[in-house]
Chain A
């Protein structure tokens, strides 16, 4: 039973481009929640310590830090504008007091350090408290500076900048389970980096054809296996997923496994390839399964079985009879993401009209919920929504033609340990919690 918890962002309908949320990601403990937007900014929320008195709800998320991660750039050589939009954020596991995350736009990946400062040195001999230098001749006694507590300050600083390694637009970054390396993928190539080294990157996948006229597919997403540091997968615009083993060769152009569901050729239409394009691929926490999202469905694949997915869930099948208009308004190219819950028992993805869907893999039940300010009293239980595909519309159902295709939920995230989810509408971030009682 999902309840409204919080909503962040402006209420007004007039959305500035910069405020469009482009990525949402919990860190490994779930204590921090990061968002990136089209304006190149990152906002990090921190979960409050649980209030022992109000034990029926888990801590709220409040702003912890915000910074400008990327700026707009212009590549004069290629006459290309480089958007500052943050495509992905990935957290590093915490090793010390500071937090680290990778954020990327189309061309450049940056490693950010977020650290807390809660004390400062006071009592310098040669400096006043406001920083002005004292005239040394006025110093008559010496004192030892000491650390005094101060109001908490959270600082974000860029520690590494990984640039100039991608000709095409970066769509994914993924940190290896060795916590030393990570991959970045663009439309045609995947590169391997070491977190400490910014001036060198290894190309591990290159699908660029010698003759660009022969281009038939592009890389749409890539991810490292959660446990095997030598294994990664990448998905394509043709609906295939390739699993590669870095031990096999330096350049993993030849896959170790190819996951593809056979298509009935008689069902093929102009739209087939477009709607089969995979917009997101995510390994389960266990590493045994992976999930892919294409335009109309979510598929779960067993890594041991390449010829078809083990589970398929229809997200919004009713859109199949609207493909013509969805092609005309470009919605058919929308890239929806998907995510697993902490125990890999439920998967979630977004849809239109600010609806999002959850599929329980065990009970086979699914639910459609809406991210809307209408239900924004804390602990209000969300009412399940239903779309009526055709025929008589029942009360409380919404017909396909009334769906607002401008209200799309592309980015969702699930707390790694608890039933707390973050759902991004165009410019607002909703946080929902499962009723604890």
Chain B
């Protein structure tokens, strides 16, 4: 850009510059976003959207551990005092073996749905 143009049409030039970067991002906004993500989490999986997501999806709802963890924890527990269950019972606790008393009591919704004009608390 010549100096003269800069003076005469400053708005236009910034407009063009803007357009350039916008074009780059316009063509591949996803790539720009991907770069952002990789910058934040460099160790993010090699497989794009691969089995990690799917496995997580299939295991939705699993809060407690398996028998392998159970046996490992049991061995550790011999030397440790049983920690009392804190207010957040939803934490996956590798060392704590849940007993039926510790499991969060799942109460069914006894209150009528608010859509049906149930009590507004």
Contact = CB atoms under 8 A, between A and B. Distances in A.
Q: Lowest 7 CB-CB distances: which A-B pairs, in order?
A: A273-B49, A39-B109, A79-B64, A72-B106, A269-B30, A321-B29, A323-B33
A327 B40 CA distance: 12
A19 B61 contact: no
Contacts of B55: 212, 215
B81 interface: no
A168 interface: yes
Given A18-B111, A80-B62, 20 more contacts: A9-B115, A12-B120, A21-B115, A35-B115, A37-B115, A40-B108, A43-B116, A66-B113, A79-B63, A79-B66, A83-B61, A212-B55, A218-B54, A218-B58, A269-B34, A270-B34, A273-B50, A320-B29, A328-B40, A390-B22
A237 B108 CA distance: 32
A71 B25 CA distance: 48
A429 B116 CA distance: 11
A74 B106 CA distance: 9
A237 B54 contact: yes
Nearest to B121: A16
B31 A68 contact: no
A210 B45 CA distance: 23
A187 B109 contact: no
Nearest to A84: B108
Contacts of B51: 213, 215-216
B79 to A, nearest CB: 25
Contacts of A43: 113, 115-116
B33 A322 contact: yes
Given A79-B62, A269-B30, A269-B33, A274 B53 contact: yes
Given A79-B64, A273-B49, A63 B117 contact: yes
Contact of A269 (B28, B63, B111, B121): B28
A407 to B, nearest CB: 17
Nearest to A323: B33
Contacts of B58: 168-169, 187-188, 215, 218
B72 interface: no
B119 to A, nearest CB: 10
Interface residues of A, number: 60
B107 to A, nearest CB: 8
B108 A217 contact: no
Contacts of A84: 108-109
Contacts of A141: none
27 contacts: A10-B114, A12-B120, A41-B113, A43-B116, A63-B117, A66-B112, A68-B109, A72-B106, A74-B103, A79-B66, A81-B106, A82-B61, A84-B109, A187-B57, A187-B58, A237-B54, A267-B30, A269-B31, A270-B44, A270-B48, A271-B33, A271-B49, A272-B30, A324-B33, A324-B40, A328-B37, A390-B22
Contacts of B121: 16
B48 A273 contact: yes
Contacts of A271: 30, 33-34, 48-49
A398 to B, nearest CB: 19
B27 to A, nearest CB: 9
B61 A81 contact: yes
Contacts of A82: 61
A263 B90 CA distance: 41
A147 B22 CA distance: 76
B98 to A, nearest CB: 9
A137 B37 CA distance: 86
A8 interface: yes
B80 interface: no
A244 B96 CA distance: 48
Interface string A51-77: 000000000000100101001111000
A272 B48 CA distance: 8
A427 interface: yes
A321 B117 contact: no
B74 interface: no
Nearest to B120: A10
B23 to A, nearest CB: 12
Nearest to A65: B116
Given A63-B117, A68-B108, A216 B30 contact: no
Contact of A63 (B30, B64, B116): B116
A216 B63 CA distance: 24
Contact of B37 (A68, A78, A324): A324
Interface string A252-274: 00000000000000011111111
Contacts of B53: 237, 274
B106 to A, nearest CB: 4
A25 interface: no
A106 interface: yes
Interface in A94-139: 106
A267 B28 contact: yes
Given A270-B37, A390-B22, A169 B60 contact: yes
